[in-house]
């Protein structure tokens, strides 16, 4: 019983999100809308039951604002870049499918990073390896390893911003620790471990 | 004055959105393979959609339109990457890609 109660408390933010969405779609935050929203949210969460999401229970508003601001800026900048590739003269496509080894072990952060990377034009998630949190991204307009390394670093920076905004305490600690270790050992950030030990098999 | 101001906002934002759609269409024609075309088919309109909805929110401001616009952009931003991912994955698994366009393919390396 206590476990179920804890589960319900953990799911409360998602439930409130559904109620808010209902009111937002109607465009009015009247009591009637909130009550009908709560009824529909309850029906939806019972009928379309999904396994509980592990929320981290930590939100940093400033970091979240920075995350979304940077994301909007990236979308704008990259949209213009990709649009120019499509319109401008003399484009010869060279692309790359890049594996990015993320630092987190949380499914939620992995999903957020995948969506945040994918929403920025120029990169598409082709596959995800959940076991070691690796994203396989198809990236447009890549020519050599210095560009792919820079792209990898930018995905890791996005992950870091997401973890700082609403990751768990363990993830925040883990991201900083792995980053320090990589800097100390001089490893290129985000490369899958098997490539850093020697030649790719 | 305020009517002129709102006209200028509308002209700039809707033109930006139209340019993005044009670029997406041209990219579909000009890019060589499925994965490259996906970039132009799914992404630049996110900015275009944001521009159009922002114009609606600014010129017909009310709480109702603002919340609706936010919901539209949020769901478009959440679902467009999923659609792109599913098509990209299907294309990769069924070998609808041109390896000669890739300078690096670490997914092939990982799958062995």
Per-residue pLDDT tens digits for A107-118: 889 999 999 999
Half-sphere exposure in the Cβ direction for A76 (13 Å, CA): 10
**Domain assignment of residue A136, yes or no:** yes
Task: Indicate whether A33 and A82 sit together in one domain.
Answer: no
Q: Which domain holds residue A13?
A: 2-47
Percent of chain A clearing pLDDT 90 (strictly above): 29
Which chain A residues touch B36 with a CB distance below 8 Å?
A: 93, 95, 140
Q: Give A135: exposed, middle or buried? Use CB within 10 Å, 0-12, 13-18, 19+.
A: buried
Q: How confident is the model at residue A35 (pLDDT cuts 50, 70, 90)?
A: very high
Distance from B81 to chain A by nearest Cα, in Å? 6
Chain B stretch 55-74, residues whose beta carbon is closer than 8 A to a beta carbon of chain A: 62-65, 67-68, 70-71
Determine, yes or no, domain membership for A139.
yes
C-beta of residue A58 within 8 angstroms of C-beta of residue A167: yes
Of A13, A17, A24, nearest in space to A59 by CA: A13
Rounded CA-CA distance A177/B2 in Å is: 54
Residue of B nearest to A149 (CA): B104
Residue with tokens 């792995």: A178
Alpha-carbon gap: A3 to the closest alpha carbon of chain B (Å)? 31
Cα dihedral B45/A19/B56/A75 (nearest 10)? -30
Indicate whether A56 belongs to any domain: no
Structure tokens at A131: 């076991």
Same domain for A110 and A36: no
A41-83: per-residue pLDDT in tens? 989 888 887 777 777 778 889 999 999 999 999 999 998 888 8
- pLDDT single digits (tens) A154-178: 999 999 999 999 888 888 888 888 8
Comparing CA positions, the residue from A17, A88, A13, A115 lying closest to residue A54 is A13
Neighbours of A8 (CB within 10 A): 11
For residues B112 and B107, give the distance between their C-alpha atoms in angstroms, rounded to a whole number. 9
Which one, of B49, B48, B53, B50, lies nearest residue B66 by Cα? B53
Largest CA distance in chain B: 66
Tell me the pairing of strands B102-105 and A95-101. Answer: parallel
User: Is pLDDT above 70 for A196?
Assistant: no
Is A197's pLDDT higher than 50? no
B38 and B92 Cβ atoms separated by less than 8 Å: no
The whole-angstrom distance between A179's CA and the closest CA on chain B is: 22
Interface test with chain A among B23, B66, B96, by most A beta carbons within 10 Å:
B23
Are B106 and A126 inside 8 Å of each other by CB? Answer: no
Decide if B21 touches A, using CB distance below 8 A: no
Residue A76 domain flag = yes
Mutate which of A33, A68, A91, A124 to test chain B, going by most B C-beta atoms within 10 A?
A124
Return left, alpha or beta for A142; rule: phi > 0 is left, psi -120 to 50 is alpha, else beta.
beta
Please indicate, yes or no, if residue A162 is contained in any of the structural domains.
yes
- Cβ B62–A27 below 8 Å, yes or no? yes
Residues A176 and A79 in one domain: yes
The number of C-alpha atoms within 13 Å of A7 and in the hemisphere containing its C-beta is 9
Q: Does A130 share its domain with A42?
A: no
Q: Which helix or strand (DSSP H or E) is residue A126 part of?
A: strand A123-129
Whether residues A82 and B44 touch (CB distance < 8 A) is answered with yes
Kindly state the DSSP code that residue A120 receives in the 8-state scheme.
Answer: S
For chains A and B, CB pairs below 8 A equal: 151
Looking at the fold, whether A85 and A123 belong to one and the same domain comes out as yes
Q: What pLDDT is stored for residue A137 in this prediction?
A: 92
pTM of the predicted model as reported, rounded to 2 decimal places: 0.84
Residue A32 three-state SS: helix
CA angle A141, B89, B99 (to 5 degrees): 45
Q: How many domains does chain A have?
A: 2
On whether residue A175 sits in a domain, the answer given is yes
Using an 8 Å Cβ cutoff, are B49 and A90 in contact? no
CA distance to partner chain B, nearest, from residue A149 (Å):
12
Residue of B nearest to A75 (CA): B47
Taking the CA of residue A101 and the nearest CA in chain B, the distance in Å comes to: 11
What the block records as the tokens of A127 is: 């596959």
ipTM: 0.86
Contacts of A191 (CB under 8 A, 6+ apart): A99, A101, A152
């Amino acid at each position: 019983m206590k476990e179920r109660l804890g589960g319900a408390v953990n799911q409360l933010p998602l439930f409130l999100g559904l109620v808010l969405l209902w009111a937002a779609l109607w465009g009015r935050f009247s009591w009637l809308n909130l009550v009908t929203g709560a009824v529909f949210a309850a029906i939806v969460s019972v009928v379309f039951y999904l396994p509980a999401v592990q929320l981290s229970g930590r939100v940093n508003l400033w970091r979240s604002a920075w995350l979304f601001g940077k994301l909007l800026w990236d979308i704008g900048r990259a949209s213009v870049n990709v649009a120019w590739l499509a319109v401008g003269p003399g484009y010869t496509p060279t692309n790359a499918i890049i594996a990015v080894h993320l630092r987190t072990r949380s499914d939620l952060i992995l999903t957020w990073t995948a969506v945040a990377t994918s929403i920025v034009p120029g990169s598409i998630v082709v596959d995800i390896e959940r076991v070691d949190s690796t994203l396989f991204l198809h990236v447009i307009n890549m020519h050599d390893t210095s560009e792919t390394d820079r792209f990898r670093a930018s995905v890791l920076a996005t992950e870091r911003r997401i973890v700082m905004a609403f990751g768990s305490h363990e993830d925040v600690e883990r991201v900083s620790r792995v980053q320090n270790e990589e800097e100390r050992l001089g490893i290129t950030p985000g490369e899958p471990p098997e490539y850093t030990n020697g030649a790719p098999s | 004055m305020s009517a002129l101001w709102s006209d200028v906002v509308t002209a700039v934002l809707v033109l930006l959105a139209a340019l993005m759609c044009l670029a997406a269409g041209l990219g579909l024609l000009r890019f060589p393979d499925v994965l490259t075309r996906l970039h132009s088919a799914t992404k630049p309109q996110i900015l275009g959609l944001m521009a159009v909805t922002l114009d609606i929110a600014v010129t017909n401001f009310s709480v109702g339109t603002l919340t609706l616009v936010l919901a539209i952009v949020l769901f478009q931003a959440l679902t467009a990457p999923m659609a792109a991912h599913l098509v990209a994955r299907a294309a990769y698994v069924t070998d609808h890609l041109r390896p000669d366009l890739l300078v690096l393919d670490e997914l092939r390396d990982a799958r062995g």
